[in-house]
């Protein structure tokens, strides 16, 4: 009993899965048909239902060529590892002699490279084959597909009535009885050769065809026209006289024995117009039914679209900006243009399939967070960051990202440009704004900002800060005696000597002319401050030698201590300046500490 119950539950579960799949696929097909442009007069849909690792995909065949395989850029991508990178190719083949189109599947690529598993259709191996309604194609261990031709105008669009879902799966071998999907309004499934039955059949056809705005023609297998509707007479008035020599009928009988299946499509040209014919061979009725649609406007639109797409791709490849497309689920790169390879130095093979985060110079959590927000809000964003480059240091880029629907999947579209030169210029301008061009020291504007920040962070600490003013004694006389070039060299060399006397976190700036200002931090005692000042005085007293010219120089220093002599930058600078002039009054070449005027 336990085994029976378990088996029953399992069967019920399998049935539920099949019913769910059936409803999902039917709903997708109906949605696709309902969303078709009104200008599309195709009566039939050509459909591949692909099963790949337990997932089903619907592929509507419309284009001229479809590449199938594991390649990321294949038109129909299979993820089964037993499938070749280019496993098969479907082409819409044109027979010039008979002016016919067929969907044909070829093993491997058009260049002649065969797949490793071969092309298996309906349990037979083929090098190539014209696809028939119901063909089962095996690509690999877990990848297969079924080909369908669906009449989208049929009242019964549920084509699963030809599959026994009670016992089999739609993609199981030997589970599908090939039939053509007919419109139940006017297709008689069982009919004999009795003349009254044929007349009755034509009468039923007429109830539909007489009202159709599109030409409908029937001929028998001997080439005699048995019916055409009023729309045919209006559009092709010479059909009655030309008969089988008319462009819409020529070669139909000749091609009959070459048709693999009972439905095919071809294009015909008539009086500067392009028509697409859907030709239905009905051997049980011994007739050929032809539906004709004027595709001139559509073909012109398609030509313009192809031209636009070609221009778009040409622009994408020519623009200087790099373009990445990467999957919104796993962030793996699926496409990149040539500018990406030029900017970063990586080849397309090195880029495709890699996670975009691999190319971030550092782990950027903010960037990854913005990507997650983009998926939710669909609001694009702009970011400046560094990307890794192959043969040089990282590249600074300005990158804008949006999310788009591409090849039936959500992808991030990233457009970026190299802003390395702009950043370099910005750094140069920033340096020039805060640094003296002669000595490379900070300017007074930076010193004020830096000192203010230090005071704000030091007010809770038990140490002192000190601001010191310096100037070179008798610098005007040195300039007048030896010239401005020597004066400039003196300023540069004196700067290096003073910097050598300071600690790493102390700040030295040129205030103007021969005046300098310094900020000393972490002073525990006043005696520590005196040691630093004495070291500077001794350093400056050593002779300076420039091109054989020896200059003996000295400096005068005034010092103010935070918080003893003030609690703001301006107050400390004022006290240090007063102390400096006290040093000059006392004979120069020394120092004075404000407050006590200690010197």
Q: What is the 3-state secondary structure (H, E, C) of 432-456?
A: HHHECCCCCCECHHHHHHHHHHHHH
Q: Which two tokens stand for residue 225?
A: 């026209």
Mean pLDDT of the region 466-491 = 92
Q: Taking 50 as the threshold, does the pLDDT of residue 84 lie above it?
A: yes
Q: Taking 70 as the threshold, does the pLDDT of residue 598 lie above it?
A: no
Structural domain contains residue 65: yes
DSSP string, 488-545: HHHHHHHHHHHHHHS-TT-EEEEEETTEEEEEEEEE-SHHHHHHHHHHHHHHHHSPEE
Chain-wide mean pLDDT for the chain? 79
Q: How confident is the model at residue 151 (pLDDT cuts 50, 70, 90)?
A: low
Structural domain contains residue 188: no
Q: Taking 90 as the threshold, does the pLDDT of residue 434 lie above it?
A: no
d(CA 466, CA 114): 82
Nearest to 331 by CA among 371, 366, 363: 371
Least confident of 358-372, 480-494, 575-589: 358-372
**Residues 506 and 564 occupy one common structural domain:** yes
**Residues 28 and 53 occupy one common structural domain:** no
Q: Taking 50 as the threshold, does the pLDDT of residue 205 lie above it?
A: no
**Residues 448 and 566 occupy one common structural domain:** yes
Residue the block writes with tokens 């790169």 = 333
- Which of 195-204, 283-292, 298-307, 508-517 tops mean pLDDT? 508-517
Q: Taking 70 as the threshold, does the pLDDT of residue 34 lie above it?
A: no
d(CA 284, CA 193): 9
What's the number of domains the chain is made of? 5
**Residues 483 and 512 occupy one common structural domain:** yes
Structural domain contains residue 579: yes
Q: Residue 558 is part of a domain; what is its CATH number?
A: 3.30.70.270
**Residues 46 and 6 occupy one common structural domain:** no
> Taking the model in full, what pTM does it have?
0.41
Higher pLDDT, 82 or 392: 82
**Residues 464 and 495 occupy one common structural domain:** yes
Please answer whether residues 117 and 83 qualify as being in contact, where contact means their C-beta atoms are separated by less than 8 angstroms. yes
Nearest to 577 by CA among 468, 476, 502: 468
State the pLDDT at residue 147: 86
State the pLDDT at residue 542: 94
Q: Taking 60 as the threshold, does the pLDDT of residue 157 lie above it?
A: no
Nearest to 289 by CA among 157, 201, 200: 201
Please answer whether residues 34 and 183 qualify as being in contact, where contact means their C-beta atoms are separated by less than 8 angstroms. no
CA distances from 311 to 42, 166, 307, 452 (A): 28, 51, 6, 58
**Residues 274 and 373 occupy one common structural domain:** no
Least confident of 176-185, 312-321, 359-368: 176-185
Q: Of 366, 399, 422, at which residue does a domain stop?
A: 422
Three-class SS state of 95: strand
State the pLDDT at residue 163: 34
Three-class SS state of 108: coil
Mean pLDDT of the region 16-34 = 65
Structural domain contains residue 415: yes
Structural domain contains residue 199: no
Q: Of 125, 144, 164, at which residue does a domain stop?
A: 164
Q: Residue 95 is part of a domain; what is its CATH number?
A: 2.60.200.20
**Chain-centre distance for alpha carbon 86:** 23
State the pLDDT at residue 195: 38
Q: Taking 80 as the threshold, does the pLDDT of residue 338 lie above it?
A: yes
Structural domain contains residue 205: no
Least confident of 90-94, 442-446, 485-489: 90-94
Summarize pLDDT for 211-264 with one digit per residue, the tens.
Answer: 667 888 888 888 888 888 888 888 888 888 888 888 888 888 765 444 544 667
**Residues 531 and 465 occupy one common structural domain:** yes
Q: Residue 404 is part of a domain; what is its CATH number?
A: 3.30.450.20
Please answer whether residues 323 and 344 qualify as being in contact, where contact means their C-beta atoms are separated by less than 8 angstroms. no
**Residues 391 and 452 occupy one common structural domain:** no
State the pLDDT at residue 507: 93
Least confident of 153-162, 310-319, 390-399, 440-449: 153-162
Structural domain contains residue 182: no
Q: Taking 50 as the threshold, does the pLDDT of residue 433 lie above it?
A: yes
Q: Of 146, 164, 182, at which residue does a domain stop?
A: 164
Q: At what angle do helices 420-434 and 444-458 cross, to 10 degrees?
A: 80
State the pLDDT at residue 257: 45
Domain holding 263, by residue range, is: 212-296
**Residues 450 and 584 occupy one common structural domain:** yes
**Residues 407 and 462 occupy one common structural domain:** no
What sign does the dihedral 426-428-431-437 (CA atoms) show?
negative
State the pLDDT at residue 518: 95
Mean pLDDT of the region 570-599 = 87
Summarize pLDDT for 254-297 with one digit per residue, the tens.
Answer: 654 445 446 677 888 888 888 888 888 777 778 888 888 888 87
State the pLDDT at residue 12: 64
Structural domain contains residue 563: yes
**Residues 470 and 587 occupy one common structural domain:** yes
């Amino acid at each position: 009993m336990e085994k029976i119950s378990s088996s029953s539950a399992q069967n019920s579960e399998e049935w539920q899965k099949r019913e769910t799949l059936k409803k999902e696929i039917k709903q997708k097909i109906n949605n696709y048909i309902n969303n078709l442009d009104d200008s599309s007069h195709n009566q039939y849909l050509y459909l591949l239902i692909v099963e790949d690792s337990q997932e089903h995909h619907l592929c509507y065949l419309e284009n001229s060529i479809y590449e199938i395989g594991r390649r990321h850029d294949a038109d129909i991508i299979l993820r089964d590892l037993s499938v070749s990178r280019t496993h098969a190719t479907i082409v819409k083949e044109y027979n010039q002699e008979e002016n016919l189109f067929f969907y044909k599947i070829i093993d491997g690529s058009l260049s002649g490279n065969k797949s490793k598993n071969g092309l298996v259709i309906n349990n037979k191996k083929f090098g190539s084959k014209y696809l028939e309604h119901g063909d089962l194609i095996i690509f690999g261990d877990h990848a297969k597909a079924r080909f369908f031709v669906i009449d989208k105008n049929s009242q019964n669009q549920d084509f699963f009535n030809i599959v026994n879902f009670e016992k089999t799966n739609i993609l199981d071998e030997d589970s599908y009885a090939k039939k053509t999907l007919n419109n139940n309004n006017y297709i008689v499934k069982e009919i004999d050769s009795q003349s009254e039955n044929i007349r009755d059949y034509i009468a039923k056809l007429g109830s539909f065809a007489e009202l159709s705005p599109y030409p409908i023609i029937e001929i028998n297998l001997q080439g005699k026209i048995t019916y055409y509707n009023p729309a045919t007479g209006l559009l092709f008035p010479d059909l009655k006289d030309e008969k089988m020599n008319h462009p819409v009928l020529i070669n139909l009988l000749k091609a009959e024995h070459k048709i693999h299946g009972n439905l095919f499509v071809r294009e015909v040209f008539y009086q500067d117009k392009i028509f697409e014919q859907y030709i239905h061979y009905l051997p049980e009725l011994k007739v050929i039914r032809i539906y004709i649609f004027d595709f001139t406007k559509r073909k012109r639109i398609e030509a313009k679209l192809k031209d636009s797409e070609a221009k778009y791709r040409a622009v994408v490849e020519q623009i200087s900006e790099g373009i990445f497309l990467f999957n919104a689920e796993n962030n793996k790169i699926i496409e990149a243009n040539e500018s990406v390879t030029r900017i970063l130095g990586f080849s397309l093979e090195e880029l495709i399939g890699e996670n975009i985060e691999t190319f971030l110079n550092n782990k950027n959590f903010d960037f990854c967070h913005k990507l997650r927000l983009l998926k939710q809000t669909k609001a694009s964003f702009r970011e400046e960051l560094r990307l890794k480059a192959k043969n040089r240091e990282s590249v600074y880029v300005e990158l804008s990202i949006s999310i788009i629907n591409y090849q039936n999947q959500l992808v991030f579209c990233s457009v970026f440009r190299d802003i390395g030169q702009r950043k370099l210029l910005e750094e140069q301008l920033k340096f020039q704004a805060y640094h003296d061009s002669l000595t490379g020291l900070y300017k007074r504007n930076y010193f004020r900002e830096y000192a203010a920040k230090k005071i704000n962070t030091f007010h809770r600490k038990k140490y002192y800060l000190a601001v010191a003013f310096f100037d070179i004694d008798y610098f005007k006389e040195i300039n007048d005696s030896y010239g401005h070039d020597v004066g400039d060299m003196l300023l540069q060399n004196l700067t290096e000597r003073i910097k050598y006397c300071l600690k790493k976190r102390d700040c030295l700036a040129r205030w103007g002319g021969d005046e300098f200002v310094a900020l000393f931090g972490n002073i525990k005692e006043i005696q520590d401050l005196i040691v630093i000042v004495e070291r500077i005085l001794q350093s400056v007293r050593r002779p300076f030698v420039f091109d054989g010219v020896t200059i003996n120089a000295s400096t005068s220093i005034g010092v103010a201590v935070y918080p003893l002599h003030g609690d703001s930058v301006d107050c400390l600078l004022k006290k240090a300046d007063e102390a400096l002039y006290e040093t000059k009054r006392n004979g120069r070449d020394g120092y004075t500490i404000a407050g006590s005027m200690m010197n």
